[in-house]
Amino acid sequence: MDPRIGFSSLDGLLDEAVASGIVPGISVCVRSATEVLHLHTVGAAELRPDSRPAAHQSVWDLASLTKVLATAPIAMAMVAEGLLDLDAPINHTLLGAPTGVTAAHLLSHSAGFPPWAPLYESLGAVPPGTEGARQKILNMAMSTPLVSAPGEAYSYSDLGFLTLGALLEALSGNTLKALFEQYVRGPSGVDLRFGWPGAAASEDCPVRGAVVVGEVHDLNAWSMGGVSSHAGLFGTASSVAAAAAWQLRAWAGEGREGLDPATVQRFFSETGPGSHHLGWDGPSPGGSAGPLWPKDGVGHLAFTGCSVWIAPRFDCVVAIVSNRIHPYIEGGAVPDAPIHPRYAAFRRLRPAVHTAVIEALIGSSDWPQ
């Protein structure tokens, strides 16, 4: 790919999104498996109580991108090492987990768990942020009654990924944070972290009574001490794109950085009853990847306003990071809240960004027809 590709249309979209109030700040990185092609950052990292401009080095709450940048590659590595059998019943390892659920079900969001629950509200006298709170939330998640039989229906679920995190810890004998350092941050060399002081601000949180800066926005993850399998990771647009490129290189068989190509290829290609593969999502009609994104691409969204999409055969990664929930979330603070006009505009922005990227690459003959 030619790094001199013109991305003026893309930059104009991002500038207008900030100028029209769709997002306070946004940063987009476009890259191949081996090089950054474009990086554009505009707007504010924080509006209140302080005013801070966004920069290329700004760090953002990646929310559910944790699922594909931390938890999925941990699972990939454990599969390659023989520590994780994707098709084995998880209740053989996790006491209290439902019968018939496998790790593949959890990764493809087809285990039957409901999407979400305010588990942090049921801690009682257990202080949030303690090991006791973490274990209680994990136990509540895995013992939540299923709403459908395992493997029969698709339901995107944080509770399922919490259960997956508990499984990975039980099988390995290590904490999720230690597994992340061992299998992801160390081999990839990409600087992603659980919690990051001075990160771009997110919601003025009614539970915590302040604008959240550097702590995970998700209250279940926050109550667990900020380290979870479904949320908690922070990083820049460049680091998000680099973490995805690390997996892309392995998919192509070109990586020597700790991931097994055959395992990555399985995670990218195997599907459940819905749009999700193993950890990664796939493009959907009218979805965030846009109409031009290859149907065999993989990606993921985050509630805080971030996303990452990979087009493996086209050697392309697009990472979007933003603080669209700062300083407040219109319509409510839960993932299934009613759609507000500003959020509707943001949902239109994401596919427009991906289309602008592809059109720029087509225009420079760097997107195979």
Q: How do residues 134-157 score in pLDDT, each as one tens digit?
A: 999 999 999 999 999 999 999 999
Task: Tell me how far the alpha carbon of residue 86 is from its chain's centroid.
Answer: 21
pTM: 0.96
- List for the chain the helix, strand, coil content (%; round to 5): 35, 15, 50
DSSP reduced 3-state for 53: strand
Cα separation of 89 and 265, whole Å?
A: 23
What is the token pair recorded at 3? 């790094």
Q: What are the residue ranges spanned by the domains of the chain?
A: 8-363
- Separation in Å, CA 341 to CA 19, 221, 331: 16, 28, 10
What is the token pair recorded at 278? 């193993």
Q: Please provide the distance, in angstroms rounded to a whole number, between the alpha carbons at the two ends of the chain.
A: 14
pLDDT tens, N- to C-terminus, the chain (369 residues)? 454 568 999 999 999 999 999 999 999 999 999 999 999 999 999 999 999 999 999 999 999 999 999 999 999 999 999 999 999 999 999 999 999 999 999 999 999 999 999 999 999 999 999 999 999 999 999 999 999 999 999 999 999 999 999 999 999 999 999 999 999 999 999 999 999 999 999 999 999 999 999 999 999 999 999 999 999 999 999 999 999 999 999 999 987 789 999 999 999 999 999 999 999 999 999 999 999 999 999 999 999 999 999 999 999 999 999 999 999 997 555 556 677 889 999 999 999 999 999 999 998 877 877
Question: Which class would CATH give 8-363?
Answer: alpha beta
DSSP string, 71-130: IHHHHHHHHHTTS--TTSBGGGTSTTPPTT-BHHHHHTT-S---S---GGGG-TTSPTTS
What is the token pair recorded at 5? 């590709």
Count of residues making up the chain: 369
